[in-house]
Amino acid sequence: MMPVKVQRVSPSELQIDWNDGHRGRHTTPILRKYCPCAACKTERDVHDGPTLLPIVVPGKNELKSIEQVGSYALQLFWVDGHRTGIYTFDYLRQICECSDCTKYTGE
Ligand SMILES: [Zn+2]
Ligand SMILES: [Zn+2]
């Protein structure tokens, strides 16, 4: 399973066409929220529990560029300088926000 095309359909939205015919949709706040790098994972664990007000950093949810890493992942570069998140293709499919992927979550 690999993306055949990654398209930025709006400043905050990505569309990924996969080689199995799936058309995935991702929004940048969710992509950033689920950033798989070690620092963000730790932050999510720490913040699990009482809800904290999000700290809004300018550019935090803005994508600067996207690069493919080998044949297994995409690396996302954010406007605020964050760039350590390597999103494997499997992971991207797990956090896909298209209507097919989200219809069973009840959200
Ligand atoms: Zn999907
Ligand atoms: Zn991160």
Which domain does 9 fall in, by range? Answer: 3-101
Helices (H) and strands (E) in the chain, counts: 4, 6
Residue 34 Cα to ligand 2 midpoint, Å, equals 8
Residue 53 Cα to ligand 2 midpoint, Å, equals 18
Q: Within a domain: residue 106?
A: no
CATH of the domain at 53: 3.30.2020.30
Q: Tell me how far the alpha carbon of residue 31 is from its chain's centroid.
A: 2
Residue 2 pLDDT > 80, yes or no?
yes
* pLDDT given at position 47: 64
Q: How far apart are CA 59 and CA 80, in angstroms?
A: 5
Number of domains in the chain: 1
Report yes or no: 29 and 12 within 8 Å, Cβ to Cβ.
Answer: yes
Residue 32 Cα to ligand 2 midpoint, Å, equals 7
For residue range 43-90, list pLDDT tens digits in order.
877 766 666 666 677 888 999 999 999 999 999 999 999 999 999 999
Residue 42 Cα to ligand 2 midpoint, Å, equals 9
Q: Within a domain: residue 54?
A: yes
Q: Within a domain: residue 17?
A: yes
Q: Within a domain: residue 59?
A: yes
Residue among 14, 2, 15 at smallest CA distance from 78: 14
